[in-house]
Copies of this chain bind each other. A is one copy, B any other.
Amino acid sequence: MIIVFKKGASQKEVNNLIKKINSLGLKAMISKGIERTIVGVIGPEDVVRLQPLEVFPGVERVMTVLKPYKLASREFKNEDSIVKIRKGVEIGGKKVGVIAGPCSIESRKQLRMVAEKVKKAGAIILRGGAFKPRTSPYTFQGLGEEGLKILKDVSQEFDIPTATEVMDTRDVGLTAKYADILQVGARNMQNFNLLKEVGQIKKPVILKRGLNATIKELLMSAEYILSEGNFNVILCERGIRTFEDFTRNTLDLSAICAVKVLSHLPIIVDPSHACGKWGMVAPLSKAAVAAGADGLLIEVHPNPQEALSDGPQQLLPENFAFLMKELKKIAQVVGKNM
């Protein structure tokens, strides 16, 4: 940690801060420049990070040197993490894994139809929402436990593992009974109690980046899960909120590169939610794989015109199958396979 003093800060003010630093068991290193005094703090940065040093008289700015997350950092673990879903199914490493399925589970018939088709096209995990976070209290809120049961049955019938969103700390245990992967949605990225709760189960977790979350904050939220002992975390970029309003959100593909620098965790991309328009899902999926994504989360619906949620962004199964073929070729160019 580096503390920059205001021009003209008094020696007494500097001494006052150094006393504080020493009282925390840390060492201060003073550097008097032409214009400013700068104090470097040597020792575990966490101890100082909690102290409101900006409040001390004479201090202009406090700059942290170390990252506030540890277990999620590339420095903690240098090689890429691979999250094992079940035998033969994993996210991370040399394979690009595609997760596909409808936004909401609407009926057994609907999910069976999608499951069969996406598996055939090469998807390795089936997605489907039973608990739906909806901005309006008057819209379809998901089938709840009934939906989870359908998900489990269809999973067994077609021998494909599943991912589904959990929104409430009270539902974590229940959801973990039925699904293979728990998803924490963008709106819950900083629902810290939910993060702790999914940290205590042993199932893999997809953690979606919040609409206004920096990559650093995404990694801090992952840290919550990791610090509870669950290292099976898959990060997911799904678009951030900007002033642009033609697309629903702005997909930030540079987040893939950033995560690869900063962390060992795998990162997948959800182009469906990011753009909100099915016509953009294919080009953005290809771009994500080209940029180095470890996987994709794609919404597929047998009849988007009748979908109970997010119709405009869901692909038809045949479009999905066609896209998968192109994705395989892109994966090869960047040294991966599907």
Which positions in A face B, CB cutoff 8 Å?
A: 2, 4, 7, 29, 31, 33-36, 38, 40, 42-44, 46, 49-52, 54-56, 63, 65-66, 68-69, 75, 133-140, 167-170, 187-188, 190-193, 196, 210-212, 214-217, 220-221, 223-224, 227-228, 240-247, 250-258, 261-262, 274-275, 277-280, 283-284, 286-292, 304-305, 307-308, 310-312, 326, 329-330, 333-334
Distance of A292 Cα from B42 Cα, bound (Å): 40
Bound CA span A274–B253, Å: 11
With a cutoff of 8 Å between Cβ atoms, the chain B residues found around residue A211 in the complex are 212
Chain B residues closer than 8 Å to A196, beta-carbon distance: 137
**Chain B residues in 8 Å Cβ range of A212:** 210-212, 241, 243
Closest chain B CB from A329 CB (angstroms): 4
Q: Cα distance A283–B283 when bound, in Å?
A: 15
Can you name the residue of chain B whose Cβ is closest to the Cβ of A73?
B7
Q: Is the CB of A247 within 8 A of B256?
A: no
Q: Complex Cα distance A187/B187, Å? A: 8
Question: Is there contact, CB below 8 Å, between B307 and A284?
Answer: no
Q: Give the Cβ gap from A142 to chain B, nearest Cβ, in Å.
A: 11
Q: Are A254 and B243 in contact (CB under 8 A)?
A: no
> Which B residues are CB-close (under 8 A) to A275?
254, 257
Report the bound CA distance from A132 to B330 in whole Å. 37
Known: A227-B138, A251-B254. A52 touches B304 (CB 8 A): yes
**Chain B's nearest CB lies how many Å from the CB of A30?**
10
Q: Known interface pairs A63-B2, A138-B227, A330-B330. Does A31 touch B38 (Cβ–Cβ under 8 Å)?
A: no
B304 and A55 form a contact (CB under 8 A): yes
Is B250 in contact with A250, judged by CB distance below 8 angstroms?
A: yes
- Which chain B residues lie closer than 8 Å to A255 at the CB level? 244
Pick the contact of A169: B169, B250, B284, B304 (CB < 8 A): B169
Task: Indicate if the CB atoms of A135 and B304 lie closer than 8 Å.
Answer: no
Which of chain B's residues have a CB closer than 8 A to the CB of A68?
135-136
Complex: A31 Cα to B212 Cα, angstroms? 36
